[in-house]
Structure 1
Amino acid sequence: MRIALVTTAMAMLLLQEVKADVQPQKNFDVQKFSGKWYRVGLAYDSPGFAPYRSKLTISMGMVDPQSNGDVNMTMWSISRSTGCKSRVYVYEKTDTPGVFSYFSTRHNKVKDITVVDTNYTEYAIVFKFKKMNREYSQVSLYGRTQKLRPEVIDKFKTFSLARGFPKESILTPPAAENCPPSGN
């Protein structure tokens, strides 16, 4: 029991440090960031994530900058029970370019989104943070295509491992079939 408490306390401290050292892309340009992205990698520190690992597929999103500086993010994902569904997230701009916040209706909490690294034409590494009953974080790897160079996948994995994500929590899911349906 004592070891479990020490391990939990150490994990909490590590997560606080994880958020503190995450910096946004230098000179972030939301217009260059707009357009179609595929979430081709994911690292998640929630224990509740484990049962869903094998069910995840690559999802597609559209980043649409608004005139007020906010960003609408439409994401398509597929599940066996509901099929292909889309959700729109409104990422509100902050005072720091490349850092956004949004209100998650699912968790009833505000989450922070930081675009950590992108070359705009091939990949983006995005860090998501939320504080609930404890702090949770997630790293996503986005690509302009569903297949990225091995060096980019390694960069994503190295970034995730450096932030304390266990190796088994880092994945690159398979492609989704026809989601979104052709024509989107």
Structure 2
Amino acid sequence: MRITFVTMATAMVCLMGVHGDVQPQRDFDLQRFAGKWYRVGLAYDSPGFTAPYRDKLRVSMGILNPQTNGDVNLTMWTQRSTGCRSKLYTYEKTAIPGAFTYFSTRHNKVKDITVVETNYNEYALVLKHKKMDREYTQVALYGKSALCGSGDQL
């Protein structure tokens, strides 16, 4: 990858806590963004998540399928100790290309998804934001290949 891990990690840390100023990638092209992606990095500002689950993070694979109405279906596969688990998400388009919303059945809340930066064939930086009892922000780094190998710990 042309973008180094250190550069991406720095970008992920800088984006934490600045959701209001983050804009989707200029001229975002959903058709070019479609396809298979691997989540290879994750930063999350929730203390309840970070400490207990840090050692359990693994590479996840997702297939992103644009719909004719501009929404997106995302199927994610994650390896667990009990086996492989898949989950389907439907991201609804907004008026801004690269920005989506989806309803989290886990939290019973609408969450915002923003594709902050991608070059479409190597990496994508995606921000997830939700407001519950306070604001939570997650930044994920996706790659077109599983850098660590499927199922390897990060």
**How high is the TM-score relative to the length of structure 1?**
0.71
CA distance in 1, matches of 2:33, 2:71: 13
Are the aligned partners of 1:62 and 1:73 in contact in 2 as well (CA < 8 Å)? yes
Relative to its length, the structure with more strand (as a share) is 2
CA distance in 2, matches of 1:71, 1:92: 7
Q: Residue 177 of structure 1 corresponds to which residue in structure 2? A: 151
Query: Secondary structure of 1:38's partner?
Result: strand
Give the AA of the match of 1:66: Q
Q: Residue 126 of structure 1 corresponds to which residue in structure 2? A: 126
Deviation at 1:23, TM superposition (A): 0.7
Unaligned runs of 5+ in 1: 1-13, 148-173, 179-184
Give the AA of the match of 1:74: T
Q: Residue 65 of structure 2 corresponds to which residue in structure 1? A: 64
Q: Residue 31 of structure 2 corresponds to which residue in structure 1? A: 31
Q: Residue 74 of structure 1 corresponds to which residue in structure 2? A: 75
Deviation at 1:56, TM superposition (A): 1.0
Percent of matched pairs sharing the same residue = 66
Give the AA of the match of 1:31: Q
Relative to its length, the structure with more helix (as a share) is 1
Query: Secondary structure of 1:25's partner?
Result: coil
Deviation at 1:88, TM superposition (A): 0.4
Say how many residue pairs are matched.
136
Give the AA of the match of 1:71: V
| Misfit runs of 4+, over 4 Å | none
Q: Residue 115 of structure 2 corresponds to which residue in structure 1? A: 115
Query: Secondary structure of 2:121's partner?
Result: coil
Deviation at 1:19, TM superposition (A): 1.1
- Residue 118 (structure 2) pairs with residue 144 (structure 1): no
Deviation at 1:20, TM superposition (A): 1.1
Q: Cα RMSD (Å) of the superposition?
A: 1.4
Are the aligned partners of 2:59 and 2:151 in contact in 1 as well (CA < 8 Å)? no
**1:133-175: per-residue Cα shift (whole Å, max 9, x none)?**
100000000000112xxxxxxxxxxxxxxxxxxxxxxxxxx54
Give the AA of the match of 2:53: Y
Q: Residue 55 of structure 1 corresponds to which residue in structure 2? A: 56
CA distance in 2, matches of 1:129, 1:78: 24
**1:50-95: per-residue Cα shift (whole Å, max 9, x none)?**
2011011000000000001000010000221x31010000000000
Are the aligned partners of 1:57 and 1:175 in contact in 2 as well (CA < 8 Å)? no
Give the AA of the match of 1:22: V
- Residue 61 (structure 2) pairs with residue 87 (structure 1): no
Query: Secondary structure of 1:68's partner?
Result: coil
Max Rg structure: 1
CA distance in 2, matches of 1:84, 1:175: 15
CA distance in 2, matches of 1:177, 1:45: 24
